[in-house]
Amino acid sequence: MMYFTKVATVFSIATALVGCAHPIVVSPDVAKIETTAKVAPHKAVVGYFISDEQRAREVITPGGGGDRVSYFPYRDMETGLYKVLGNTFTDVVRLKSSTDKDAITQNNVGYIITPQVTTNSQSPSPFTWPPTQFTVDLSANITDNVGKPIVTKTVQGVGRAEFEEFKSDFGLSGKRAMQDALQKLQELLSDAKALSN
């Protein structure tokens, strides 16, 4: 009996240490993604492709106090990406695949963008679990409408939030990092001469 009690105790401690990740949302404030381009939008329709697997991909990164946080970076990013592309091109089309011929032809898509997102987070706090620091590495692989590579643009977004700020919004540092990355991507896309007709 004593043996089983010890085993149960060890199991309980291990479970508590591993724990569950705290869910957060890192969707940026789309209203704050403003047009800052000094030039007019590129005169082209752009299509973007995010797979269903990417939208459903849950990512777990460190929080504070030894805890972790979980979120869906592609799903949370998508609306902001759409806003960025809408600010940068004449029109935006969501594609079912990077070779979605019907949508590409029907909408006269000139460019196809496939984003890649990598995230990380941390917090030095031993008492609170929300991350105070967050990074978003965002790459946009751009091809023409038949898949020929044109250019890749890569940015890093950084977000920070202190306890007084995130006590009502646990994903605030992540939202700020995502917004920062998207804003930087918009500036690079706007200035990209390779996309000018």
pLDDT tens, residue by residue, 42-75: 999 999 999 999 999 999 999 999 999 999 999 9
Q: CATH number of the domain at 21-195, please? A: 3.30.160.150
pLDDT in tens, 1-30: 444 334 333 333 333 444 589 999 999 999
**What's the pLDDT tens digit per position in 101-134?**
999 999 999 999 999 999 999 999 888 899 999 9
Q: Domain spans of the chain? A: 21-195
Q: What pLDDT was estimated at residue 37? A: 57
Q: Is the dihedral of CA 121, 49, 111, 38 positive or negative?
A: negative
For 26, 76, 155, 175, 193, the CA distances from 131, given in Å and listed in that order, are: 11, 17, 21, 11, 37
Please spell the DSSP secondary structure of 16-60, one letter per residue: HHH--PEE------GGG-----SSPPEEEEEEE---HHHHT--EE
Residues contacting 131, CB < 8 A, separation 6+: 61, 62, 63, 64, 69, 121, 122, 123, 173, 174
Q: What percent of the chain has pLDDT over 90?
A: 76
What is the average per-residue pLDDT within 162-188?
93
